[in-house]
Structure 1
Amino acid sequence: MTGRHLRRRRVPTAWAAPLAAVSVSIAVIAAVVATGARAAPVVGTAVPAPREAPVRTVEEPPLSTAPTPPPSSRPAPPPSPTPTPAPPATPTRTAEPVPQSQPRGTVRLTEGGTATLVRREVTNGVLPVPDDLNEATWWGAGPNAPSGATVLAGHVNWNGAIGPFAELWRSERGDGVTVVDARGAVTRYTVTEILTLDKDELPAQAADLFAQSGPHRLVLVTCGGRWVGGADGYAENRIVLAQRQ
């Protein structure tokens, strides 16, 4: 918005014209002397003519002119400043909050299945399995590592109960997986590849799947398929690979 421009107004000149109206009176005196009819006129006596009274002229005073007042010395108010809008505030980037319903040190799958992470190491080339249905064994790189595989293994079921990793059998590409470490740092992944391998086929691909070199990736492992019993339990492994978002 711009300010209004104010015009200076010239004050009109005041003129005073006092006029004195003077009435001039001329008095004419006429004296008539009359005598009686029987009286003889006075011979040789002249009656003086009446003297005309002098006329007094009164001069009119000159017209007086009132002085023109000087223009107002009061400065016109400055135009109102145009308000300048404040620049938009720069958004502050904050750390991503931990999902309220997901505890620290857990992994959550697309449908909400959540397992507690238990750190383990590989011994004798055997991938360790968790001791509880609601746990996931964690081996290899951490979620925030620049390279290598973060391997999480969990049971599909236990004593007739279904575990959270049973969801892997329904996983699809594009599904999301969230890992929250013990410090509360959140890492989100997107499923990119799904494999179903016979347990006899897994050793040949283990080096590529679980290697601690190459691009960082999340590898989720569970079992399922055909039940064979014994030490193997199920005949197949379900493997889901995900890339960090």
Structure 2
Amino acid sequence: MRRQRRKLVTSYFLGVASLLFVEAIALLSIAWPPKDVIAGTASPAQSVAPPRAAAVAPPPPATTAPPPPPSTVASQPAPPPPPARKEPIRGQRPGTIRLPAGGTATLVRKEIQGPNATLPIPERLDQATWWGAGLDAPNGASVFAGHVNWGGGIGPFAELWDASPGGEVVITDAAGKPWTYRVSQLITLHKDELPQRADDLFSQAGPHRVVLVTCGGKWVGGQTGYAENRVVVADPA
């Protein structure tokens, strides 16, 4: 009786266990469904290269240079050029004087003596008397006198009335060497004043200089002639 009961119990548990196993298999099938497997050779996925940026052409070179930056230093005005030194006129004869406007006269050397001596004047319109210091003297005045007009003609010394400071006077000596002077003083005197200024103007003392003398102004006639004298002083250039 007991053996028969044990067999029944054992059969019952085996049946229950079989049912539990079947249910477990069913649950596993639902939880993990089978994956489809495709036969073949696996190949890596192709990488996609990022798109390249479009090439940009470089800008064309500039055809003109950019303007320089403004200077921060104030520009200084250029100094004036020195006055050009004129060469003696080609062909100026030895023993002649050329005045600022180009008039020329032949030199005639004269000597005067005594305190009351008068200023010698030339015999011709194209001449100039010369007395006093030599051109190479370190001191004293070289005095040249010429006519303003004569016999209806105009003399070269007439231009002294239009002379201006800085005008050039060129004297060539007997050897043809030029000596250049520049006008520094313009003086107009009445005929009566000239003797009073003679010691000052024609002195052989003081720095070397050239003194040019002519007459002009109002014509009064007689031995006086013109009422005034024009005196031009020129210093070595």
Do residues 130 (structure 1) and 122 (structure 2) align? yes
Give the gaps of 5 or more residues in structure 1: 1-95
Q: How many residues align structurally?
A: 150
| Cα offsets for 1:11-63 (capped at 9, x unmatched) | xxxxxxxxxxxxxxxxxxxxxxxxxxxxxxxxxxxxxxxxxxxxxxxxxxxxx
Superposed, 1:131-170 pairs within 5 Å as: 131-170=123-162
Q: Which amino acid counterpart does residue 101 of structure 1 have in structure 2?
A: G
Corresponding residue number in structure 1 for 2:96 = 106
Q: Which amino acid counterpart does residue 216 of structure 1 have in structure 2?
A: H
TM-score, normalization by structure 2: 0.61
Corresponding residue number in structure 1 for 2:164 = 172
Tell me which of 220, 232, 235 is aligned to 2:224. 232
Corresponding residue number in structure 1 for 2:106 = 116
Superposed, 1:181-192 pairs within 5 Å as: 181-192=173-184
Query: Structure 2 CA distance, aligned partners of 1:98 and 1:200?
Result: 36
| Cα offsets for 1:69-90 (capped at 9, x unmatched) | xxxxxxxxxxxxxxxxxxxxxx
Give the percent of matched residue pairs that are identical in Structure 1 and Structure 2. Answer: 59
Query: Structure 2 CA distance, aligned partners of 1:163 and 1:122?
Result: 23
After superposing on structure 2, the runs of 4+ consecutive aligned residues of structure 1 that deviate more than 3 Å are: 96-99
Q: Which amino acid counterpart does residue 99 of structure 2 have in structure 1?
A: L
Q: Which has the higher helix share?
A: 2
Query: Structure 1 CA distance, aligned partners of 2:221 and 2:87?
Result: 43
- Give yes or no for contact 1:98–1:185 (8 Å, CA) kept in 2: no
TM-score, normalization by structure 1: 0.59
- Give yes or no for contact 2:121–2:146 (8 Å, CA) kept in 1: yes
Tell me which of 204, 215, 229 is aligned to 1:212. 204
- Give yes or no for contact 2:129–2:144 (8 Å, CA) kept in 1: yes
SS of 2:198 mapped into structure 1: helix
Deviation of the 1:99 alpha carbon: 3.6
Superposed, 1:68-87 pairs within 5 Å as: none
